[in-house]
Chain A
Amino acid sequence: MHRYRFVLTRPLQFLPVIFGISVITFILVRLIPGDPARNLLGARATPSAIAKIRAQYGLDEAMWQQYFYFVKNLANGEMGKSILYKIDVLKLIATRIEPTIALVLSSVVLSVLIAVPMAALAARNSGKAPDHVVRIVSTFGIGFPPFWLGLMLMILFSVKLDLLPVSGYGETFGDKLVHLVLPSLTVALSLSTVLIRSLRAAMIEALKSDVATAARARGMPERIVFWRHVVPNSLVPTINLLAVNIGWLIGGTVVVESVFALPGMGQLLVRAIFSRDYMVVQGVAMVFACATVLVNFLADVVTVAIDPRVKL
């Protein structure tokens, strides 16, 4: 169908974005003061050892030359070798990507599961007690720093009640799910706040809209009016909000991953930044960027699927 034609053309627009990101990360990581070689060698570093490492990773060459290699590698589907881990960055990322994807997905699902009923409750009782309660409670959700919230949840559910594992990532699927409950709840508590605000506003708008009035005038009970007409019409802005926030969300998982000891890319990234593992920072940033672009693309597809008016 022609409405979906953008599915074919859009990926072309990714290219400049990805290219821009590659340049920026490349420059950015190298602008950070600090030397990967010195980091690797620690306190006992001698100048000759440092020089050797720098030569080994090509860090002693000119910037443009390094960038050239980087792009050349990229064209071959490679991202270089980690200085810290001494293996291919892509391979390294492959071992670390699953928990992050799982965390982001489960957080989004959980947020939606929290946000939709809460927003519905608030919107259908707008201006009344449930609305105020939802709004106040959800505002609190966003105010707590995630690392603090995470620890509190951990102390409550894992230590005091002994219901869930404290931290880590399981091995079997079920085990992984159990391990993901608290981390994704931590993320969801703040993410859902954002969603609730947007959904609630959209729903209130839609409840007042002519579409709803028309449905009521046809004698449709409030339930049908709400779920068949109001909800579909208020989803689009929320989906886009979610997509725009995906970068922020992935950023937020960094902290949550380290609080809950999830072996994901966020932790990898933080360690790489602090140890100036350039290739890894570049690689992870590229992967994150691609993921963000992809999510936005998916959001567009979903938007087009939900709202036939939208043309892209």
Chain B
Amino acid sequence: MSASVLSVRDLTVKAHLQGETRTLLQGVSLDLAKGEILGLVGESGSGKSLFCRSLVRLLPSSLLKIEGGTILFEERDLTAVTDAEMLKVRGAEIGMIFQNPTSHLDPVMRIGDQILEGIRYHQGINGRDARAAAIEILAQIGFPEPVRQYDSYPHELSGGMRQRAMIGVALSCNPQILIADEPTTALDVTIQAQILKLLMDIRDRHGLSIILISHDLGVVAQTCDRIAVMRGGRLLEQGLKRTILSAPQDPYTVRLIHSHPSMPDVALPAVSAPAPSRAATRPLLEIDDLHVRYPTGGSLFRGKNARTVGALSGVNLEIMPGETVGIVGESGSGKSTLARALLGLTPISSGHVSFDGIDLFQQRNAGLARLRREAAMVFQDPFNALNPRLTIGQTLAEVLKVQKKIARADIPSRVDELLDLVGLEREFVNRKPRSMSGGQCQRAGIARALAVDPRLIIADECVAALDVTIQAQIIDLFRKLARDLNLTLIFIAHDLAIVRNLCERTVVMYRGEIVEDGRSEDVFSRPKHPYTAALIAAIPDIDPDRQLLGHTDAASLEPIQSFKRMP
């Protein structure tokens, strides 16, 4: 390992909020060697992003201040240099890649021009040469047609391409250090694999040093040389990745590693209830040749021949009462559409959905009424799924009132029961979503679904946005509920590891169709469809020796939908 390019000592950042001072970073010391990839992991709010922003002195608010410590970079202390000098460090020496490319790329500027801006400003190249350099970068980061794509706007690109563009913009300044703040969290496993590959590639080619932030230990395990673990503003431990992964010192790190879904020991036999004998009962849900098409940009005056996008094309599925079914598939494969169609929230174009024997198409009103009383949905985004103006108590009480399954007088006690059930304290009755954490909101969402007293729960990616530790809690909760209340559970995720842990049956979707359906063990151990196989291969395993994407070449996995379908 070569000498360190960046050396941080005792970095302390404090926030001064209305007379109260909170220490957000406490004496963090860290070294970054030339050409190394350092993984920074830790739970949400532990200060990972803050640490990186401190390095370039771009704190999110003027109330936060660097109060101590040094950041040594090329013999200068970055905490002490002038603002003008700092301008030269940012970008040109230390570049940043952000988690959310959609919001960090300028929506009204062409991708190429955004790259050009850095080249012009930091490398002093102008005119034709600059453009050529920009196109060169586009090619490097895997744009298949750089000359044409120079003129694309961010919104015309897929998520993965946008993330690449973001990396391109950072590279345009020709930095020595790249900081990548959760660059793949929003992406699919397959795209994630490509981006991580790209980062490693760049490191290899340009000899860059990279700090990679993630809360997914798997990602870090696959890409990094060293790992640093943060919690509560402190650096808990750091070291070579193998050391950390095999012999974690801090109890938190131990927990972090153990809650990783890819850890095989967690794979308890899925829901322990004996698989119900399928032949005995009739299916709770029957889906027969379901098609859903969305109109695109249609308007009142354009009539029926408007363009449509097929989101589901010919889905057949039968779900027995008491089953736990996981639905996986890449983004845009139609998982949510399927869920919504099942619940009658999206008009179906053709096919049949019957719930407990009632056809939703032929007996729409009866079917919906029945459905609304017996099925419930848990949404992906915990914050947006709850009405921000209502307290949790009001939210739950309203459902109970409308559903009229219990007497009015019993509502308060039932609300308490529900909170107990999802493990929220009773004082949450008076809390509003905004004052709760994501995990707490998600539980409230589950409580609301349970308030219906449903036979069927559909959970649409309800853990994707959460921390691994909280993820684990929620999954435990579902497992318990399924067991205790004999619920039928449809669990949608694109994280296969979770599905594998929770569900006894797995359905794989690809481009609006079901490509695989079977018992989870079978699907995961012996995938029949190549897409399933690719999906499984792309899961970053926490074991660094199980190589990301195995031996497949990144190039062979062409970005699925590199360009959005244009209407």
Task: Tell me, rounded to whole Å, the shortest Cβ–Cβ distance linking A74 to chain B.
Answer: 23
- A residues 213-248 in Cβ contact with B at 8 Å: 213-221, 224, 228-229, 232-233
Contacts of A309 in B (CB 8 A): 107-108, 153, 155
For residue B90, CB closer than 8 A to chain A, the reply is yes
Q: Does A65 contact B (CB under 8 A)?
A: no
How far in angstroms is the closest Cβ of chain A from B476? 35
**Across the interface, do A214 and B90 meet the contact criterion of CB distance under 8 Å?**
no
- Residue tally, chain B, CB below 8 Å to A: 33
In this complex, the member of A214, A217, A228 whose beta carbon has the largest number of chain B beta carbons within 10 angstroms is: A217
Tell me if B106 and A220 are in contact (CB < 8 A).
Answer: no
| Pick from B153, B169, B297: contact of A214, CB under 8 Å | B169
Q: In chain B, what residue has the closest Cβ to A2? A: B566
CB distance from B530 to the nearest CB of A (A): 35
Whether A211 and B107, one on each chain, are in contact in the complex, defined by CB atoms closer than 8 angstroms, is yes
Chain A 292-312 interface 0/1 with B at a Cβ cutoff of 8 Å (1 = within):
000000000000001111010
Given the interface contacts A217-B58, A224-B121, does A211 sit within 8 Å of B88 by beta carbon? no
Counting CB contacts under 8 A, is A210 at the interface?
yes
B95 at interface by CB-CB < 8 Å: yes
Mark contacts of B83-98 with chain A using CB atoms, 8 A cut-off: 1 yes-contact digit, 0 otherwise.
0000111111001101
A232-B122 Cα distance, complex, nearest whole Å: 22
A95 adjacent to chain B (CB < 8 Å): no
In the complex, whether A73 has a CB less than 8 A from a CB of chain B is: no
On whether A219 and B108 interact (CB within 8 A), knowing A209-B103, A213-B58, the answer reads no
* Pairwise interchain contact B122-A219, C-beta atoms closer than 8 A: yes
B118 at interface, CB cutoff 8 A: yes
Q: Would you call A218 and B91 a contact (CB within 8 A)?
A: yes
User: Are A233 and B107 in contact, with the CB atoms below 8 A?
Assistant: yes
- Please give, as numbers and ranges, the residues of chain A lying within 8 Å of B87 by CB-CB distance: 219-221
For chain A, the count of residues having a C-beta within 8 Å of the partner chain is: 24
Tell me the bound Cα distance from A229 to B118 in angstroms.
Answer: 13
Q: Say how far B194's CB is from chain A's closest CB, in angstroms.
A: 21
For A308, what are the chain B residues with a Cβ–Cβ distance below 8 Å?
Answer: 107-108, 153, 155-156
B364 within 8 A of A: no
Q: Indicate which residue in A209, A219, A233, A311 contacts B121 across the interface (CB closer than 8 Å).
A: A219
Cβ of B100 < 8 Å from any Cβ of A? yes
Which of B91, B105, B117, B155 is close to A211, meaning CB atoms less than 8 Å apart? B105
Residues of A within 8 Å of B106, CB to CB, are 211, 214-215, 229, 232-233
**Given A219-B122, A219-B173, A308-B153, do A214 and B96 touch, yes or no (CB 8 Å)?**
yes
**Pick from A216, A233, A311: contact of B297, CB under 8 Å:** A311
Residue contact B117 to A217, C-beta cutoff 8 Å? no
Q: Chain A's nearest CB lies how many Å from the CB of B58?
A: 6
**For A214, what are the chain B residues with a Cβ–Cβ distance below 8 Å?**
96, 98, 104-106, 166, 169
Query: Which residues B140-169 have CB closer than 8 A to chain A?
Result: 153, 155-156, 166, 169
- Residue from B91, B100, B170, B297 in contact with A220 in the complex, judged by beta carbons closer than 8 Å: B91
CB distance from A165 to the nearest CB of B (A): 42
Q: Determine the chain B residues whose CB is within 8 A of the CB of A307 once the complex forms.
A: 107-108
Contacts of B156 in A (CB 8 A): 308
Q: Is the CB of A233 within 8 A of B108?
A: yes
Cα(A311)–Cα(B298), bound, Å? 12
Give the complex CA separation of A311 and B153 in angstroms. 13
B56 contacts partner chain A, Cβ-Cβ < 8 Å: yes
Which of chain A's residues have a CB closer than 8 A to the CB of B109? 228-229, 232
Contacts of B88 in A (CB 8 A): 219
Distance in angstroms between the alpha carbons of A220 and B56 in the assembled complex? 13
Check if A216 sits within 8 Å of B90, measured CB to CB: yes
* Docked complex Cα distance between A220 and B106 (Å): 14
- Give, as a whole number of angstroms, the nearest-CB distance from A117 to chain B: 21
Q: How far is the CB of A301 from chain B (nearest CB, A)?
A: 15
| Chain B neighbourhood of A229, CB < 8 A | 106, 109
Across-interface contacts of A232 in B (CB, < 8 A): 106, 108-109
**Which A residues touch B117, using CB under 8 A?**
218, 220, 224, 228
B58 A218 Cβ-Cβ under 8 A: no
How many Å from the CB of A12 to the closest CB on chain B?
8
Note all chain A residues with C-beta closer than 8 A to B122.
218-219
Q: Which residues of B contact A209 (CB under 8 A)?
A: 103
A219–B124 CA distance with the chains assembled, in angstroms? 13
A210 touches B107 (CB 8 A): no
Please state if A217 and B105 are interface contacts (CB–CB under 8 Å): no
CA distance A224 to B56 in the complex (A): 18
Q: Interface code B475-517, partner A: CB below 8 Å = 1, 0 otherwise?
A: 0000000000000000000000000000000000000000000
With CB as the reference atom, state the residue of chain A lying closest to B566: A2
A235, closest chain B residue (CB): B108
Chain A: which residue is nearest B89 at the CB level?
A219
Q: Which chain A residues lie closer than 8 Å to B301 at the CB level?
A: 12-13
Instruction: State how many angstroms separate the Cβ of A237 from the closest Cβ of chain B.
Output: 13
Q: Tell me which residues from 145 to 177 in chain A have a Cβ below 8 Å from any Cβ of chain B.
A: none
Taken together as a complex, chains A and B put the C-alpha atoms of A209 and B105 apart, in Å, by: 10
Could you say which residues of chain A place their CB within 8 Å of the CB of B96?
214, 217-218
Known: A220-B121, A308-B153. A211 touches B103 (CB 8 A): yes
A208 vs chain B, min Cβ distance (A): 9
Supposing A233-B108, A309-B107, A309-B155 touch, asked if A217 and B100 sit within 8 A by C-beta, the answer is no
Q: A224-B121, A308-B155, A311-B297 are in contact. Are A218 and B100 (CB under 8 A)?
A: no
Please give the distance in Å from B141's CB to the nearest CB on chain A. Answer: 16
**Which among B95, B103, B297 is the interface contact of A217 at CB below 8 angstroms?**
B95
CA gap between A308 and B117 in the complex, in Å: 19
Residue pair B56, A217 in contact (C-beta under 8 Å): yes
Q: How far is the CB of A142 from chain B (nearest CB, A)?
A: 30
- Cα–Cα, bound, A224→B121 (Å): 10
A266 → B minimal CB distance (Å):
35
Residues of chain B within 8 A of A219, CB atoms compared: 87-92, 121-122, 173
B169 and A306 form a contact (CB under 8 A):
no
Q: Given the complex, which residues of B lie within 8 Å of A13, measured CB to CB?
A: 301
B49-81 CB contact bits vs A (8 Å, 1 = yes)?
000000010100000000000000000000000
Chain B 185-227 interface 0/1 with A at a Cβ cutoff of 8 Å (1 = within) = 0000000000000000000000000000000000000000000
In the assembled complex, how far is the CB of residue B88 from the closest CB belonging to chain A, in whole angstroms?
6
Minimum Cβ distance to chain A for residue B172 (Å):
8
A216 to B173, CA, bound (A): 12
Q: Which of A258-312 contact B (CB under 8 A)?
A: 306-309, 311
B57 to chain A, nearest CB (A): 10
A308 and B157 CA atoms in complex are apart in Å by: 12
Interchain nearest-CB distance for A127 vs B (Å): 9
Q: How far is the CA of A221 from the CA of B86 in the complex (A)?
A: 10
Residues in B neighbouring A220, C-beta threshold 8 A? 87, 91, 117, 121
CB-CB under 8 A from B103, the residues of chain A are 209-211
Please tell me if the beta carbons of B107 and A217 are within 8 angstroms of each other in the complex.
Answer: no
- CA–CA, A210 to B186, complex, Å? 16
Given the complex of chains A and B, what is the CA–CA distance between A54 and B156 in angstroms? 63
Q: From B155, which residue of chain A is reached at the shortest CB distance?
A: A309
Instruction: Give the distance in Å from the alpha carbon of A233 to the alpha carbon of B105 in the complex.
Output: 11
Inter-chain CA distance A228–B466, complex, in Å, is 36
User: In the complex, what's the smallest C-beta–C-beta distance from A249 to chain B, in angstroms?
Assistant: 26
Q: Which residues of B contact A217 (CB under 8 A)?
A: 56, 58, 90-91, 95-96, 98
Whole-angstrom distance from the CB of A3 to the nearest CB of chain B? 10
Across chains A and B, which 9 residue pairs bring their CB atoms closest together, nearest first?
A: A219-B91, A219-B90, A218-B91, A210-B103, A217-B96, A214-B104, A308-B153, A210-B104, A309-B155
Can you give 9 A-B contacts (C-beta < 8 A)?
A: A211-B105, A216-B58, A217-B98, A218-B169, A219-B87, A233-B106, A307-B107, A308-B153, A309-B108
Give 13 new A-B contacts, CB below 8 A, not counting A209-B103, A214-B106, A218-B95: A210-B100, A211-B104, A213-B58, A214-B96, A214-B105, A214-B166, A216-B90, A218-B169, A218-B172, A219-B89, A221-B87, A233-B107, A307-B108
